[in-house]
């Protein structure tokens, strides 16, 4: 990456990961019932497919696929894990858009799932994606080694649950009602849970599938943590600055809702500096990896997380 322009290699690998994730999600969400299932209700499956297919940057699958590749791991199992993580992400978007939460009409440039299929279906779509993610990870098609599958299931549950993504969402809701605006430390903690935990696990999952040793696992965990923080601060800045058409969702909603963002806590310039420092921290965490296209592409992902336009 030079002068903020992503390299051809980064763009090619991003497109490749997005395509692999799309293909895998498409086949996992096929109409045929799996062994142990009875029937996949056709109209409901359409709603699940609407929520999971045909949109999004697929950044989490990219992180899993590229991290696994650092250790020579690739193929169906890695793509299945990447798709499972993306399902958790898609479910969080569907539920977050509901009238009881953000009450949004637009997501990924299209009507939100509850707008297109009704609120009851949207709740159930989120539930179905959440449940299916763990089904996929527990299946031996994802990895022949049961210990590896348990590590994936455990890691995803911890990152997406009470003390991770959901807990972060709860803190976010509480912040809207708080009498005083949150300071930067509280904002960073909330964001590390709400957004950071799943992004970090997307990296961890690649390391688990790649059977990475402890020092590499630690380095990647530091990378994932810093990248996740930079990604969310970029989101806060985009909410203030970005064009709604490019974002594919409503912009300018944080200020109106008293949202706990780093822009609100520190101002836009300091938020930008923090975002860029975190991207540098993420890159530094990968220093111990041998130079080469694989580590370089992950380092570029940290730039992308910070400099993204949507
Ligand atoms: C389970 C209700 C519920 C919420 C959990 C993650 C989350 C909390 C809510 C999702 C809404 C949101 C704005 C979260 C912040 C994280 C974020 C920037 C999401 C958007 O991720 P992108 O930019 O989206 O990767 P695409 O569409 O590209 O996949």
Determine the 3-state secondary structure of 263 from DSSP. helix
Pair 40, 31: CB distance under 8 Å: yes
pLDDT of residue 255: 66
Q: Tell how far the Cα of 235 is from the centroid of ligand 1, in angstroms.
A: 9
Shortest-distance atom of ligand 1 to CA 86: 29
Q: Write down the pTM of the prediction.
A: 0.95
Ordered per-residue pLDDT tens for the chain, 310 residues: 545 788 999 999 999 999 999 999 999 999 999 999 999 999 999 999 999 998 899 999 999 999 999 999 999 999 999 999 999 999 999 999 999 999 999 999 999 999 999 999 999 999 999 999 999 999 999 999 999 999 999 999 999 999 999 999 999 999 999 888 889 999 999 999 999 999 999 999 999 999 999 999 999 999 999 999 999 999 999 999 877 766 777 777 776 677 899 999 999 999 999 999 999 999 999 999 988 879 999 999 999 999 888 8
pLDDT of residue 3: 59
Ranges assigned E (strand) in the chain: 106-107, 110-111
Closest CA to 206 of 219, 194, 195: 219
Shortest-distance atom of ligand 1 to CA 232: 18
From 21, 93, 114, 157, mutation site for ligand 1 pocket: most ligand atoms within 8 A of C-beta: 93
**Ligand 1 proximity of 86 Cβ (cutoff 6 Å):** no
Q: Tell how far the Cα of 69 is from the centroid of ligand 1, in angstroms.
A: 25
The domain ranges of the chain are 8-307
The correct answer on CATH 1.10.600.10 for the domain covering 8-307 is: yes
**Ligand 1 proximity of 169 Cβ (cutoff 6 Å):** yes
Closest CA to 279 of 228, 242, 241: 228
Shortest-distance atom of ligand 1 to CA 310: 23
């Amino acid at each position: 990456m030079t002068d903020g322009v992503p390299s051809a290699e980064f763009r090619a690998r991003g497109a490749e990961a997005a395509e692999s994730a799309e293909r895998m999600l498409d086949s996992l969400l096929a109409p045929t019932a799996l062994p142990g299932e009875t029937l996949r209700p056709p109209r409901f499956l359409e709603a699940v497919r609407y929520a999971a297919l045909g949109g999004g940057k697929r950044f989490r699958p990219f992180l899993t696929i590229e991290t696994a590749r650092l250790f020579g791991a690739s193929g169906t199992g890695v793509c299945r894990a990447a798709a499972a993580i993306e399902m958790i992400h898609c479910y969080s978007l569907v539920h977050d858009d509901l009238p009881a939460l953000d009450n949004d009409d637009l997501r990924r440039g299209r009507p939100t799932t509850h707008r297109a299929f009704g609120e009851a279906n949207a709740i159930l779509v989120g539930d179905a994606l959440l449940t299916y993610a763990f089904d996929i990870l527990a299946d031996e098609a994802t990895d022949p080694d049961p210990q590896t599958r348990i590590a994936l299931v455990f890691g995803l549950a911890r990152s997406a649950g009470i003390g991770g993504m959901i807990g972060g969402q709860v803190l976010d809701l509480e912040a809207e009602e708080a009498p005083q605006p949150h300071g930067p430390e509280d904002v960073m903690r909330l964001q590390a849970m709400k957004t950071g935990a799943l992004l970090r696990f997307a990296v961890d999952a690649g390391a688990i599938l790649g059977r990475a040793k402890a020092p590499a696992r630690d380095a990647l965990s530091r990378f994932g943590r810093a990248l996740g923080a930079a990604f969310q601060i970029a989101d806060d800045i985009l909410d203030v600055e970005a064009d709604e058409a490019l974002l594919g969702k409503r912009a300018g909603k944080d200020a109106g809702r008293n949202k706990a963002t780093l822009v609100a806590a520190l101002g836009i310039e300091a938020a930008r500096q923090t975002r860029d420092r975190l991207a540098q921290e993420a890159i530094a965490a990968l220093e111990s990896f041998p130079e080469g296209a694989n580590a370089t592409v992950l380092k570029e992902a940290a730039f992308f997380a910070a400099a993204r336009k949507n």
